Structure 1
Amino acid sequence: MTAAYKSIVDRFATSIRDGRVPAGTRLPTHRALAREHRIALATASRVYAELAAMGLVAGEPGRGTFVRDQRGHDGVEPSRRLPVPRIADLSFNQPLAAEQTSQLRHALRELSTSGNLEAVLHQQPPGGRSRERAIVATHLLDRGIDVPPARVLLANGAQQALDAVLTATTRPGDVIAVDALTYPGFALLAAAHSLEIAPIPSGAAGPDLQALDRLCAARPVRAIYTIPTVHNPLGWTLDRPTRERLVAIARARDAWIIEDGTYAFLDEAPPLPVQALAPERTFYVASLSKNVATGLRFGFLVAPGAHEQQIVRSLRTSTWGVSGLITALATGWIADGTVARLEKTRRDDATERQQIARAAFRQLDYTAHPSSYFGWLRLPPDLRADQAASHLADVGILVTTADAFASTDHAPHALRLALATPAIDQLADVLERVSRTVDSMPR
């Protein structure tokens, strides 16, 4: 039976890839597929599940299973090629301020003439040196996090920090609660650690905490991954009572909390971080990728005291220590106020870009935080996200579909639009083109 089911998957995949089954084709129902190939209904479901995992089909509740348009640009690793010259990349944020190149040159010159240049060539201890950890601890005070430097650990970006947290706190098979739409990189880490993702339904203002409590009552949830401030991709910032309810559930059900604060700087006056409300069970993770530069692989995390050594061991196992050169640059910019100035620049820039986006999508269902670098564009019910991505690719615009962010089996038909990469004077034209393309698509 295994060989038979695999051969069915292979035949479908080949037919879809060579165009014999064109994009948009509605495939047989699970029962019809089972009857046609004389296989069990569960096996037929497995066939479609594998095709969906390959990105070849998409299931829509109540409508059926459809062949995806492969010309679209979606997923965690989208194709960067387009059928026409590229106009804009709305699939990935690369915010840069005009003065950053000169800032980098100045910082490198300063570093080259410092009296302790040799130190950047030495192996850094796992978690970073005490001086740099103290600088980051001071930086975190502005986030509402007050911890001693020993509780702050440095990493090569937020992704490594998240990986270290999962290594220290979970075992294969553990259940992790996440929002139904969430940061794609966390799902990759969960799969690498053989963890089970349990999605939490979400509304316009945040996760359904009653559903989370029911999940924790029914399943042994090991940890809750949350982005409470400027949620990626939906843009919400949870209010103080909602954060307190989340903490109460985690305490009652004895679950860890993993708080991702990477985009938190974009909200000028958010409530206290979850870490400040529950320091005994919250791992706070952030980086300088969005407020300074994506290529600056510098992250940090705050761990409950009982887990500090386990996190250090995890960091040692993966890369031993952080880069001395990157750490010197990053902590130097934190200490001299460059990071704070760049964050203000980013917030102002993002606010202007969101105003442009709201004007361009005034006739569409668009949701975003007022000062974030991304927005969520829900498509009309008779449009599929892969089709929209394909049509936009045909006019030179890269986007990301909801599939990349979905922790559920069925992703909504929506696009996540990254607004930071196009030049500000070109953004209105680009987004108007997106709006016109979506509006003109055949239903």
Structure 2
Amino acid sequence: MDFRTVADAVAADIASGRLRPGDRLPTQRDFARAHGIANSTATRVYAELTRRGLVVGEVGRGTYVRAATPRPFALAEPTTAAVDLELSVPAVPEQFPLLADGMSRMLRPDVLRDALRPVGAAGTPEAREAAAGVLARAGWAPEPDRVLFTGTGRQALAAAVAALVPPGGRLGVEDLTYPAARAIATRVGATLVPLGMDTEGLRPDALAEAHRSARLHAVYVQPTLHNPLSVTLPYQRRLELAQVTGTLGIPIIEDAVWSHLATDPGPPLAAFAPHHTVLIDSLSKRVAPGLTLGFAVAPASGADAVAHAIRSGAWTAPRFALETALGWMRDGTVRSIEAAKRTDARARQAAVADLLAGFRIRTAPEASMCWWDLPEPWRADTFVAAAARRGIAVTPGAAFAVRATAAPNAVRLGLASPPPDVLARAVATLAALARSAPDDEAIG
């Protein structure tokens, strides 16, 4: 019997309601026996149902019927939910007067005239100098001549991937990774290779093993306040990763967009591996996503390739954004806002820790998100649906899982966007929901 025919029959059972959201499917061996098919055919049936988005596999738990047709989480957009805990966009009241003061200079005709002219990937000498100061930390600072500019951090990431990974090439990523990285890899035709993690983050031995299996053209890693787990690689782990990648000749793409929230982030990987690391960052989380700027700090050996990717992708930063950001970087506005956002993040984390006491939460005191391993008998997709019925949007763990058949039974909460009182009420509602049973009303 053709596996698609069997998959169609299961899909019909899901559509008719005979198989309900949250129902667990039999093991593949039991499924094969019940349908009189080979085990290999059952494996293909389950893979096809996963591909169609009808079921989700959870590590060590089995395969479950999804609560609803999954939304595309690769590039999250603001939702229509009353409370959006999908996006995590930090904003503090004191940033707006500071930003307004800094923008007033842009209204001068002579400044505006220059700001409306085109600019290349290298920006201007003044902008490179200012950006190098903003990106500096823990005794490390990039050489200004190595700084390139894009419109956003995602564009900087896309340029780095396009420059380092050829179509069909292999890009190593952490087992749970930033969803936009997955979408970007697909766009450039790269194959994602999931790499094992532990409590300290990406494992160097997993990286080396994957490379021995087949060459990795680059590795994408989030060393500081990893999204979604908020893990920060310790000093020794960074050193080990730099040594392994240097020995094996694997370029690093280092995503540092959340590092400004860390009280003591330590040196970036670019400090340990300056000759084969492209560090990317942006002002989106530091300042505001509505008028942002992306950075790519490329080594001398890769700068031309990254700059070419920026130009060919039409990812060059608009000069108006560049000049506006230059003023904010020079006058201390960026540093002031960073400090305020660190204070805000700690206050939100403290409040959420109280509200979710007793649950298994993974986060950091200064992170703007938390990872919630859900209690039994909840499934991630049914919990997301139940939260949506209460006007709260959260992200299922499957959005971050590189292995589609190994979705964790967890959700990520973005803590930065709602006002603190709204956040507290929403998290209290979710905590009460998690303590209840996933009844028919909850899962629809």
1:72-107 CA deviation, whole Å, 9 max, x = no partner? Answer: 87833569777xxx4421111122221344444433
Please show how residues 261-300 of structure 1 align to structure 2 within 5 Å: 261-300=256-295
Q: Distance in 1 between matches of 2:269 and 2:344?
A: 27
TM-score by length of 1: 0.91
**Paired residue type of 2:54:** L
Which position in structure 2 is the counterpart of 1:26? 24
Q: CA RMSD in A?
A: 2.6
Q: Distance in 1 between matches of 2:313 and 2:70?
A: 34
What runs of 5+ residues in structure 2 fail to find an aligned partner? 440-444
Q: Distance in 1 between matches of 2:345 and 2:23?
A: 39
1:291-323 CA deviation, whole Å, 9 max, x = no partner? Answer: 111223411011110111111111111116211
Q: Give the drift of 1:44.
A: 4.0
Which position in structure 1 is the counterpart of 2:68? 70
**Paired residue type of 1:116:** V
1:367-400 CA deviation, whole Å, 9 max, x = no partner? Answer: 1111111011111243211121122122221101
Q: Is the 8 A contact 1:25 1:67 kept in 2?
A: yes
Q: Is the 8 A contact 1:74 1:389 kept in 2?
A: no
Which position in structure 2 is the counterpart of 1:316? 311
Q: Is the 8 A contact 1:72 1:389 kept in 2?
A: no
Could you tell which deviates more after superposition, 170-179 or 9-18?
9-18
What runs of 5+ residues in structure 1 fail to find an aligned partner? none
**Paired residue type of 1:59:** G
1:395 to 1:72, Cα distance in 2 relative to 1, 3 A:
farther
**Paired residue type of 1:238:** L
Q: Give the drift of 1:112.
A: 0.9
Which position in structure 2 is the counterpart of 1:131? 126
In structure 2, which of residues 326, 346, 354 is the aligned counterpart of residue 351 of structure 1? 346
| Amino-acid identity (%) | 34
Q: Give the drift of 1:347.
A: 0.2
Which position in structure 2 is the counterpart of 1:441? 437
Q: Distance in 2 between matches of 1:76 and 1:117?
A: 36
Q: Give the drift of 1:192.
A: 1.7
TM-score by length of 2: 0.90
Which position in structure 2 is the counterpart of 1:332? 327
1:413 aligned onto 2:405:
no
**Paired residue type of 2:341:** R
Q: Is the 8 A contact 2:251 2:276 kept in 1?
A: yes
1:129 to 1:427, Cα distance in 2 relative to 1, 3 A:
same
Q: Give the drift of 1:64.
A: 3.5
Which position in structure 2 is the counterpart of 1:146? 141
1:143 to 1:188, Cα distance in 2 relative to 1, 3 A:
farther
1:79 to 1:170, Cα distance in 2 relative to 1, 3 A:
closer
Which position in structure 2 is the counterpart of 1:429? 425
Q: Give the drift of 1:47.
A: 3.6
Which position in structure 2 is the counterpart of 1:227? 222
Q: Is the 8 A contact 1:71 1:390 kept in 2?
A: no
Match of 2:172, SS?
A: strand
Q: Distance in 2 between matches of 1:285 and 1:81?
A: 27
Q: Give the drift of 1:55.
A: 2.7
1:127-179 CA deviation, whole Å, 9 max, x = no partner? Answer: 32232122212222246443332210001111111111111111122222211
1:247 to 1:62, Cα distance in 2 relative to 1, 3 A:
closer
Could you tell which deviates more after superposition, 184-193 or 277-286?
184-193
Q: Distance in 2 between matches of 1:386 and 1:310?
A: 41
Q: Is the 8 A contact 2:53 2:70 kept in 1?
A: no
Match of 2:302, SS?
A: helix
Could you tell which deviates more after superposition, 392-401 or 128-137?
128-137
**Paired residue type of 1:426:** V
Give the paired residue count.
438
Match of 2:56, SS?
A: strand
Q: Distance in 2 between matches of 1:269 and 1:169?
A: 30
Match of 2:198, SS?
A: coil
1:240 aligned onto 2:235:
yes
**Paired residue type of 1:174:** G
